[in-house]
Structure formats: C-alpha cells, structure tokens
Chain A
Amino acid sequence: MAQLNKLSTSNLPAATLDRRQAVPALIEHPEDWLMIGGLAGAAQELTAMTADGPSVYGLAGAMGAAPMMGLGLALAQPQRRVLVATGDGELLMNLSALASIALMAPNNLAIICVDNGHYGETGNQDSHTGMGVRLDTVATGCGFATVHIINTEADMAEGRRLLREGGLCFILLRVKEGPPLKIARSHNPIVIRHRFRKALLGTE
C-alpha cells in the first residue's frame, strides 16, 4: 500500500495530552462563552462540558463550518465572547476561513483546534497535520497576531491566560489519538438552533 509522506515540517514533539482532560482544562469556564463545536469530537466535548447546555451549537455535519459560524456569531454579539473548538480535519476542510477571520479580527473570538493528527470519526486515518502540516504557522500566515501551541501540560497556563484575557487568538491544542468526552446529545440541527437562540435572545 502506498504510504503518505511525512513532511519536513513534521518536527513537533509527539503529542502527550489526553483530550478528555486537556480540553476542559484549557477552557476552564465554559459558562463564559457562546460556543461552536466542530464535528465530531470537539462538538461532543463542548456538549459534555456544558451538560448539553444551550450555549453550544455542536455540529454533526457541514464539515468546515465551525470557524466561520464563530465569526458570524462574534460579529452579531460583540458584547459576548465566542469560542470555536474544532478538530484538525474540520479546520483543514475550510482552512482559508482563518484568512477571512483574521481580516475581520473580531476581538471577542477565540479558536481552539483540538489536533489529534487523525480523522478520528472515519477510521483514524492520518490527517495532514499528522503528516506535518503546521496549523499554527498557517494561522500566523493568515494574520492571527496571537497564536499559541500546546504540546504539554507546561504550555497550558499560557493558553488559559489567552482565553481569560480576550482578543482574537488561535490555540493549537495537540492531543493523542483517542476518544473525546462524550454525552448523549441531540443531533437535530433545528432543535439546537432553537434552544441556542431561545437562551441567548429569548426568541426562537
């Protein structure tokens, strides 16, 4: 079988963090945010962290939507802070969204890429980041002034500080392969839209 080539940019240390602990440890206060979760692991994690609460719009399709949904929400709700958490595969599908977001530079939007280097939902095939594509470099090149990479527990405090202090940022959270936090959640995109809007706006 043909093999994918490891890229010369593949010089990051092996991931050590377990996403089930790392994602909640980084976000700390989910109640502070309006949140968009990219399919599939990130959406499950945000949903689990909020006990399936209404402040999360978790995607189970429309791959590549999460970052731009976060931008639209951040522009519409300038007084609130918006967090997008999404996987490397989801982000890669619409990578140029980072360019569009950086141009708008909303100061109330944070993007976390939970990067496990694999397409976890489809059989754990290597993703491009697993082969060495550097999403932190991409974000910098797109114009994100604040980019932070978390390889180990030691990098976590700076990520938490960036989330606490606000401003547009891109955080690459590198995690091992393995399952996300899970909770039973609605996959009905109409239901979660209604409850999100009801909680935020008081209207469906």
Chain B
Amino acid sequence: MTEDDNHTGQAAWADPLYDLLRANGVTQFAYVPDAGHTVLINRSLADPDAHSVALTTEEEGGALLAGADLGGGRGVLLMQSSGVGNTINMLSLTTGGKFPLLTLVSMRGDFGEGNPWQFPMGRATPKVLEAMGVIVLRADVPEDVIPTVSAALTMVFQSGEAVAVLLGQRLIGAKKF
C-alpha cells in the first residue's frame, strides 16, 4: 500500500460502491494492493460474508473469477492500470470461455501523473483491454461511479460480458511525489 492522502475523499463514492457490489451478490474481492482501491479492500477485509483474496499478480484474479463463476459465485477484480498488462493472456480464458468479468481499474499514467514509469501502461490500458474483448467504461467524477458500475454489473452478470470500469486519476487523485 502506498502513501495516499485521498482515502477520505474516496469514502464519498467508495463506500456506496462497496455496498452496491455486495447488494449485487459480489462476494469475492480479488486485488493486488493499491491505494486507489483502499476503501474497497478494507471493507472486504472487514466483511465476514465476503472473501478478500490478496493476489500476487493480477492474472491470478482472472483465473480466480472464472473458477468462481463455475461455482455460481460472483467476484470483482480490483487492479491498477499497471496490472492490466499482467492479465492479457488470462483474458483469453475470460473472453474465450464467455466468463463474466467485472474489473475496476484505478488509473495511473493519467490525469496529473507525476511518475513517468506509469505512462506506458496507463496509455495502453483501454487499448489492450479492448483488444482482448473487454468492454471499457470510465468514471472521472464521483457522481459517475455508481451509475457506471451499476451499468457494468448488468452487462457482466445479466449479459455475461467482460467489463472494465476505469476509475480515472481525476477521480481517485494523482499520487504526490
């Protein structure tokens, strides 16, 4: 977990977002720790009815959620844009097998980024997701988060699609260096 002074700002949209995911039957929260997902991760750790699954690399999450689906379970993959690149071949299981996938991607290399290492994957994130057959939605202001993830939940668990919701750096705040 990195230093971040935006956790309190996140609470305005992230707490209702956690409640929305749980109300839609999401029980497996898979993540590589990231400041942009702090509230969701901590809520899942505190939730006795949820599985908080710490991954070592994001591709583990694609496989985990496919397995959950085989058993009738629902999950979400929380990752940073840098982790999207780690998932690419695993997405051949997701989209090739028509497994539903909901992933929330906290963006880096985006609005106000101060770390040049984050730009290559930040810029490539929507393109590589779309190249692998994942539908990409985006939220950049707090009032867009719930409607966008609500739409994604329907697309994923009703229609069986793979959908990524990019949470822009304007929303989650650029990390200070």
Interface residues of A, Cβ cutoff 8 Å to B: 34, 36, 57, 59, 61-77, 80, 94, 96-97, 99-100, 103-104, 189-190, 192-193, 196-197, 200-201
Contacts and interface: CB of A to CB of B under 8 A. Distances in A.
Contacts of A63: 89
A69 B59 contact: no
B60 interface: yes
B72 A76 contact: yes
A64 B57 CA distance: 12
Given A59-B93, A61-B93, A73 B59 contact: no
Interface residues of B, number: 32
Given A75-B28, A103-B54, A193-B98, A62 B71 contact: no
B54 A100 contact: yes
A62 to B, nearest CB: 4
Given A61-B92, A62-B89, A64-B90, A96 B71 contact: no
Nearest to A194: B98
Nearest to B64: A72
Contact of B53 (A62, A69, A71): A71
Contacts of B99: 193
Contacts of B59: 64, 94
A192 B97 CA distance: 8
B96 interface: yes
A94 B54 CA distance: 15
Contacts, number: 118
Given A62-B90, A77-B72, A104-B51, 9 more contacts: A62-B63, A69-B64, A72-B28, A75-B28, A94-B59, A103-B54, A104-B53, A190-B96, A193-B98
Contacts of B168: none
B167 interface: no
Given A72-B68, A75-B51, A94 B60 contact: yes
Given A94-B59, A189-B96, A76 B89 contact: no
Contacts of A72: 28, 63-71, 73, 75
Nearest to B99: A193
B56 interface: yes
Nearest to B72: A201
B71 A100 contact: no
A68 B97 CA distance: 16
B52 to A, nearest CB: 9
Interface string B57-91: 10111111111111111010000000000000110
Interface string B86-110: 0001101100111100000000000
A61 B97 CA distance: 11
Contact of B71 (A34, A61, A103): A34
B135 interface: no
